[in-house]
Amino acid sequence: MSDYLIRLGQQPALRNVIKSIGLPTPVELARGKGSYDARLLAGKTVLLGAGQNATAVKALEAALSDSGAKPARADKPEPAKGARYDALVFDATGMQSAGELKALYNFFHPVVRRMNRCGRVLVLADHPDKLDDPQRATAARAVEGFVRSVGKEIGKGGSTANLLYVEPGAQDRIEGPLRFFLSEHSAYVDGQPVRISAGGAMPEEVAFSGALKGKVALVTGGARGIGAATARRLAAEGAQVVCLDLPADQETLNATVSEIGGTALPLNITDDSAPRDIAKFLQDKFGGVDIVVHNAGVTRDKTLANMPEKHWDMVLSINLLAILAIDKVLLGDKVINEHGRIICLSSIGGIAGNMGQTNYGATKAGLIGYVQSQSQTLGERSITLNAVAPGFIETRMTAEMPFMIREAGRRMNSLSQGGQPEDVAELITFLSTPGAGGISGNVIRVCGQSLIGA
């Protein structure tokens, strides 16, 4: 759906009028096009800084060079006066005390204004939960507040800021997340702390081009919207995609799979037989599955006092209970292959709650609990499990909202605009790749750093 403020803001004269009456002037975001390239950051100018005890800076330098970026070290030699940058990366790992936080100021203060539009800030820090020393944990946790605040300062230029918490021994798993968060494929992921763990084995070879070649992916609710956008992106990276949706939507489902050369699976996931039917289909046709995207979901909004029991039951059944039942069979029967990926669609509504959505909020929060708990049991098979939590995304549902509510939803984030289904699909696709093998048990929002929720 078209955002009139973005369109008007592209005209200098009208942009000044918009500013004069106090309305936001959002920047049209630079979004990734096509599939990943081995040199995804080719031509990007990146300034790299590090604290005095940083542990990941060598891995960062190597990853930036391999991805085609032009890395410059803030201290070797001092950056050219007036130089501009597409990204600012700082390694804050290894901090021993809160006093070392001054290094963040010293690095960012002189250069933050010299970022190009739609630029990227990425900071690495130790994960505070993995530190026994209170001084070190204090410093590490402080970095998150810094990054979230930076994101709110640079968002008006279409730029984003994100944080990678690097657990001990996970420095060799940085490259995949680095590529994604510095690329245009992460345009609407902003203000997010992402944990990179050392648990589970990484694939012997991590491909960054044709990353999903030979992989089989299942996308539920794949006929339209976020599901269809996800199916297209997974297919673009080389995956064979199975799109599952209701038999009543088979015409739309067939059109989607025809576009991507995929496979249609018309089925109601709430049927008692659905988990076994899905498992049998995947085993018989493909010998298993590598990627499972639980996208199917519904809303039936009413305040709790006015909500019919059938609306409660329907939302719980589709959004949560069916997912748990399907995974129980796919994991129990080992239909999901080693190094598999499971991604659940949660929502900002499961984090912050929404009026009239007690049923929906419960399911989306329940998925977060499921992801954080179940992910701890999957390390032996190197299967990752994560949740993606969209904020305000421009879909048919948001297009039907009353004008003022829709405008509030669009503007209440650091980028002052709604996201696109493709923005959600981009994060799902990254989490499906071999390069995301160090990311499991995370809940990552696609919300432009919404002002609502944590």
Q: Kindly list the catalytic residues.
A: 360
Dist. CA 285–CA 271, nearest whole Å = 21
> Angle formed by the axes of helices 57-66 and 175-182, to 10°?
60
- How would DSSP label each residue in 315-360? HHIIIIIHHHHHHHHHHHTT-EEEEEEEEEE--THHHH--TT-HHH
Q: Are 291 and 341 in contact (CB under 8 A)?
A: yes
Residue 218 in 3-state DSSP? Answer: strand
Residue 261: both structure tokens together = 């050369």
Distances in Å between the Cα of 160 and the Cα atoms of 1, 36, 316, 415 are 22, 20, 34, 8
Report residue 371 as tokens: 């992801």
100-107 long-range contacts (CB < 8 A, ≥24 apart) are 100/51, 100/52, 100/53, 100/139, 101/139, 101/142, 101/143, 101/146, 103/49, 103/51, 103/52, 104/143, 104/146, 107/49, 107/74
Which residues does residue 70 pair with via DSSP β-bridges, in sequence order?
45
Q: Is the backbone peptide bond immediately before 71 cis, with ω within 30 degrees of 0?
A: no
Burial class from Cβ neighbours inside 10 Å (0-12, 13-18, 19+) for residue 236 reads: middle
SS3 (DSSP) at 297: coil
